[in-house]
Structure 1
Amino acid sequence: MFTFIDVFAGIGGFRQGCDLAGGLCVWACEKDKFARQTYASNFDIDDPEFAYDFAKDIEDVDPKDIPDHDLLLSGFPCQPFSTAGRREGFAHEIQGTLFFELAKIIKEKQPPFFLLENVKGLLSHKSGSTMFTIMRVLNELGYKVYPKVIDADGFVPQHRERVYLAGVREDVGSYWHELNGPWAEFEEDKFRKPPKGYVQLRHILEPHDQVSVKYTMSDRYMAGLRAHTIKQAAKGNTFGYRIYHPGDVTGALTASYAKSAQSILIHQGEHMNPRKLTPRECARLMGYPEHFNIPVSNTQAYKQFGNSVVPGVIWAIMHAMLPWHYRE
């Protein structure tokens, strides 16, 4: 068994995947009250082994108060990174960014492993300088870091590319290399990913006659989408809406799905307007189990699932990343 902390915990996507891999959460932190509501309704935060510090803003947390752990998990907001103070060390250079809060925890607690997640665009943000800074900071803290872009397609019926930074403390890596041969370096052959298209949209959709008509797009809405598409095309811009069929794999679910559902519309027949996904279908699209509780409004649910990680991807990373004895 391994212990982990859940930073920027959201609704618990990281925790869901790590629980399945045999992990034990010992601390979590999430600022958004609606995300905390969903998290608390699905995980036992009253467990005496769990340090309930959940409502705190990460910037108010003293890293010394965080329990020791084997693994730090976090999907972190990609705030603008300053390029000032390049020679003055990580504390000056990234002061004021939320990544700095993660770096403070890693520096203080020195966990054997960490796993960070962000949008694929992090790799090209500011022509790569942001990623360079992150990698340099983590290297300076004593970690080997393995970036990997993973598409969740195969785990779920959704193309969802995210960059994962798997970090291993240098002394831990050397130790396991000496004892057991090459330790898990996030290598392709150790990452258990189902084939693309293994799960299709049909597997997560409700029966047509069980979906409320409130999810069907109105004539006015569809007319507006078509007009806007034509207008943008005339300007040379790419804009469109996507209508998916049961055998398809969708594009990425976004946090703005409640307001801009055109990215994933579901075909309902030749003579009907398409519909948006229900919150339960979004949960399935992200790979959450049927028993996962959704206690918030539809608007908040769409935002939460759009911001989440795919738990199945996290489970697979754990098996590719952690030495075997952590998963026994």
Structure 2
Amino acid sequence: TLLSHDCVPRKWHTEGRYGSRTHRVNAKIGLPLLKCPQTLHWMVSVLSGNENATGKNAGNSLYIASTKHKDEDSKESLLELLRTPGVELIYKKPILSNRIPVVEPFDSTIHPERKPENFESKMLDFLRKIDVRVEECEVSKKRKWNLQDSVATTPCSFTFCELFAGIGGFGVALEALGGKCVFASEIYEPSRRIYRDNLDTSALPDGGSIAGDIWSVDSKDIPHHDILVGGFPCQPFSTLGNQPGLKDDKKYSGRINGIDDSVLRDSKKGGGRGQLFSQIVRVLKDCQPSAFLLENVPGLIVTDNGNSLQTILLSLEEVGYKVTHEVCSSRGLTSQSRKRLYIVGIRQAAKKNESSKFCSNCSPTSFQFPFMPDLGLRAIDVLHTEKELNDFSAASVPFDLVQNISENEGELTPVSVFQLSDAQMMQLRFRSKKWKPAKLAWHDKSIDTIDSHYGVTVGKGNSQLVPCPAPHHPRRFTPRECARIMGFSDSFVLGTSRTKRSRNEWREKGNRSAFESYIKEQYQMLGNAVCPAVIAVIVGAIIAQCPSIVNSIDCVDCIDWVDRGLWAGIEIALDSLAPAKLHVVLRRLIRFYQEQKESEIKAVAPQCK
């Protein structure tokens, strides 16, 4: 009866994560009830016989603004329970559950053996400087501090070419390091629009034009560049599919919305997704950049018993590159546990024939994947605050897409439009074998990998959800939350680049369907993106191995590129947090590294004696 009236929380509610603890009250057993209009206020008013009465303490912590109307039969069942001898309502402060497990800390540091000397001291100084800048922005009531403050003063020091660019995850990282994009290719028009809205396209050919189908691009039209980057389509190698590998002959990646059918029909070469890596090899062979960085799913390692990866590595080596690969997780620099395969190539001629005037910071040795710290970021650091959940612009949802829904479904908030329906929740609970409340994005947990299929089959348990206060169902991440999870800052524009014509076309689709189409498009693009913070750290280490890039940079003091990439990656990671949480995270990290520094001092002291 209490469950049917939403009087007690379930395990998928924020109040019921560890179950409801029973209380001993004057030789009786008490069960905590929810303090919301659906419980105390309604129950007190029913018992008092006055539907308009207000309970003594019923309004102390109301989270929910709406009330659920009960019919007479429903009301009678609750009255019958409450009038049972021995049952009474009392006001008592609840006690927390004693079943809260102790979570063992997990260190997500990558290559701790390569940690720079005095890293803790440098990290403390770095965090304190950012903390001061954040406080200055808060005092002056200016916009939130963000990475653009630093990028704007970073001089151009190298050029890069971005293939399969998506929304520009590589570009965000490389621009933060001082790179300038001279060529970009992306077939999906919505991704191209977001790329143009956020990245510098002034140096691209044809007045800043982003190329479409890479099969149709002549290598002669690609300007000289120092580094080639790209995340070639991962669907042929993903464990979420059948892993056809290099034999995948599909002509498009993901959904075809936004890809002109004529582009698919008129492709000169006619190759499918599985052969797209060959276009990277073609550009590397013809343009001979100093280095490259490619990204794909770890499933590539096991596709076709490893033969697909070996074929790709051999092809890259045959065009003159020393190739290294490694699987790295973004867990240390984002709130997401996202493992990806990174493939790095350094041109051999760059080491053998070109000048190798290096300082000690940039000696050309075989490439090693660099150290990446664990910032301990969790879901609470990127999820919306209650204030943001009342603003569609904060969730990166154009309000015109929900106006028509409001006319049919009543007043809407970002919470309500992203919450599961009753039908989806029933399917999740009784038909899905994958889903468990423990898989929700609880505030103290790392978030699961966001992929391009996020939000498509919610009822089957394939998408991680955010717990909500009772009696609400869990909700999906908003596009802005997905962007933060991937490592993009709030200054990265989402959802406002759609043209007027296409918006009108989407309105004609219908109320809810137009909104869902738009949201799934955002999920797809973000799920296909790369994590800029991780890219920045790796690219810094790559540049340190490239004499042609290092020697071409006109600077008085040689730049320690490994160090520059590390700090750029950390700054990008901090910039991607929810603005309201940044100050809290900075103070948490400052305390942590202060303790680390003190423990090292104590460890060294006995040795000195």
Common fold by TM > 0.5: yes
How far is the alpha carbon of 1:126 from its aligned partner?
0.5
The 5-angstrom pairing of residues 220-235 of structure 1 reads 220-230=423-433
Partner residue, 2:483: 283
With structure 1 as the length reference, what TM-score do the two structures score?
0.86
Uncovered stretches (5+) of structure 2, i.e. residues with no partner: 1-156, 237-244, 248-271, 390-413, 499-517, 560-609
Higher helix share: 2
1:274 aligns with 2:474: yes
Partner residue, 1:311: 532
Higher relative contact order (CA 8 A, sep 6+): 1
What is the SS of the residue equivalent to 1:117?
strand
Q: Structure 1 stretch 94-103 or stretch 199-208: which is displaced more?
A: 94-103
1:293 aligns with 2:493: yes
How far is the alpha carbon of 1:210 from its aligned partner?
3.7
2:211 and 2:220 map into 1 onto residues whose CA distance is 17
2:334–2:487: 8 Å Cα contact kept in structure 1?
A: yes
Runs of 4+ in 1 over 4 A off after TM superposition: 174-182
How far is the alpha carbon of 1:183 from its aligned partner?
2.7
1:273 and 1:176 map into 2 onto residues whose CA distance is 63
Structure of larger gyration radius: 2
Question: Which of the residues 256, 259, 279 maps onto 1:101?
Answer: 279
Code of the residue aligned with 1:183 in structure 2: it is P
Partner residue, 1:234: none
Partner residue, 2:378: 200
2:422 and 2:293 map into 1 onto residues whose CA distance is 45
Code of the residue aligned with 1:310 in structure 2: it is C
What is the SS of the residue equivalent to 2:337?
coil
1:62 aligns with 2:218: yes
1:96 and 1:117 map into 2 onto residues whose CA distance is 15
2:326 and 2:443 map into 1 onto residues whose CA distance is 30
With structure 2 as the length reference, what TM-score do the two structures score?
0.48
Higher strand share: 1
Percent identity at matched positions? Answer: 33
Uncovered stretches (5+) of structure 1, i.e. residues with no partner: 83-93, 231-238
Quick one: structure 1 residues 247 and 137, their matched pair in 2 at CA, closer, same or farther if it must change by over 3 Å? same
1:33 aligns with 2:189: yes
2:274 and 2:430 map into 1 onto residues whose CA distance is 42
2:233–2:273: 8 Å Cα contact kept in structure 1?
A: no
What is the SS of the residue equivalent to 1:317?
helix
1:184–1:322: 8 Å Cα contact kept in structure 2?
A: no
User: What is the count of residue pairs matched by the alignment?
Assistant: 307
How far is the alpha carbon of 1:322 from its aligned partner?
1.2
1:265–1:277: 8 Å Cα contact kept in structure 2?
A: yes
Code of the residue aligned with 2:417 in structure 1: it is K
1:323 aligns with 2:479: no
The 5-angstrom pairing of residues 1-328 of structure 1 reads 1-45=157-201, 47=202, 49-51=203-205, 52-78=208-234, 79=236, 80-81=245-246, 97-174=275-352, 179=358, 182-183=363-364, 185-188=366-369, 191-195=370-374, 198-208=376-386, 210-211=388-389, 212=414, 213-230=416-433, 239-240=434-435, 242-261=439-458, 262=461, 263-269=463-469, 271-294=471-494, 295=496, 297-323=518-544, 325=550, 328=559
Quick one: structure 1 residues 177 and 126, their matched pair in 2 at CA, closer, same or farther if it must change by over 3 Å? farther
1:200–1:248: 8 Å Cα contact kept in structure 2?
A: yes
After superposition, give the CA deviation of every residue in 1:214-257 in whole Å (9 maximum; x if it has no partner). 11112221110122224xxxxxxxx2352121111011001111
2:474 and 2:274 map into 1 onto residues whose CA distance is 44
2:188–2:212: 8 Å Cα contact kept in structure 1?
A: no
Quick one: structure 1 residues 284 and 154, their matched pair in 2 at CA, closer, same or farther if it must change by over 3 Å? same
1:306 and 1:184 map into 2 onto residues whose CA distance is 35
Give the root-mean-square deviation of aligned CA atoms: 2.6
Code of the residue aligned with 1:240 in structure 2: it is W
Q: Structure 1 stretch 253-262 or stretch 18-27: which is displaced more?
A: 253-262
